[in-house]
Chains A and B, each alone.
Chain A
Amino acid sequence: MSLERSLYEAMLRMRMVEETIAAIYPDREIRSPTHLYIGQEGVAAGVCAALGRQDVVAANYRSHGWYLAKGGSLRAMVDELFGRATGCSGGWGGSMHLIDVDAGVMGTSAIVGGGMSHAVGSALADRILGRAQVSVAVFGDGAVEEGPWHECLNFASLKRLPVVFVCENNLWAAFSPLKDRQPPVEIHERMKAYGIPSELVDGNDALAVHRAAAVAADRARRGHGPSLIECSTYRWLEHCGPNDDVAQGFRPAEELEGWKARCPILRMRSLVTDEEDRSIRAAVMREIEDALAHARRAPWPEPSWKPAYYEV
Chain B
Amino acid sequence: MKFREAVRAATVEVMRKDARVFVLGIGVPDVKGIFGTTVGLADEFGADRAFDIPLSESAVTGICVGATFRGLRPIFVHQRIDFTMLTMDQIVNHAAKWRAMFHGAHPVPLVIRAIVGRGWGNGPQHTQSHHGTFAHIPGLKVVVPATPHDAKGLLIAAVEDDDPVIYIEHRWLHEEDGEVPDGYYEVPIGKAAVVRAGNDVTVAAVGPYVGEALKAAGALAGEGVSAEVLDLRTLRPLDSETLLASVRRTGRLVVADADWGPCGVSAELLAVTAEHAFGALKAPPVRVTWPDSPVPSSQALEPGFYPGARQIHAAVRYTLSRGASAGLAGSSTKPFEGPF
Contact = CB atoms under 8 A, between A and B. Distances in A.
Interface of A: 56, 58, 87-93, 97, 99, 101, 106-107, 109, 111, 114-129, 131, 135, 147-148, 151-152, 154-155, 158
A124 B100 contact: no
A90 B106 CA distance: 12
A138 to B, nearest CB: 13
Contacts of A155: 53-54, 56, 59-60, 63
Contact of B63 (A87, A88, A121, A129): A121
18 contacts: A90-B104, A109-B93, A111-B93, A117-B60, A117-B65, A117-B90, A118-B62, A118-B66, A122-B70, A124-B63, A125-B70, A128-B22, A128-B48, A147-B58, A148-B58, A148-B89, A151-B56, A151-B59
Given A111-B93, A122-B67, A117 B101 contact: no
Contact of A56 (B22, B69, B102): B69
Contact of A117 (B66, B100, B104): B66
B64 A89 contact: no
Given A116-B62, A120-B62, A121-B63, A129 B103 contact: no
A101 B101 contact: no
B61 interface: yes
Contact of B105 (A101, A124, A151): A101
B103 A128 contact: no
A99 B101 CA distance: 10
A124 B59 CA distance: 12
B72 interface: yes
Interface residues of B, number: 33
Contacts of A109: 93-94
Nearest to A100: B105
Contacts of B54: 151, 154-155, 158
Count chain B CB atoms within 10 A of each CB in A91, A92, A115 and give the residue with the most. Answer: A92
Given A117-B63, A154-B54, 5 more contacts: A101-B106, A115-B62, A117-B60, A117-B66, A152-B62
Nearest to A130: B48
A120 B49 contact: no
A114 B101 CA distance: 15
B25 to A, nearest CB: 13
Contacts of A89: 101-103, 105
B71 interface: yes
Contact of B59 (A101, A117, A125): A117
B55 to A, nearest CB: 9
Contacts of B101: 89, 92-93, 97, 107
A92 B102 contact: yes
A116 B100 CA distance: 20
Contacts of B89: 111, 114, 148
B3 interface: no
The 5 closest A-B pairs by CB, nearest first: A121-B66, A117-B62, A90-B103, A151-B59, A125-B70
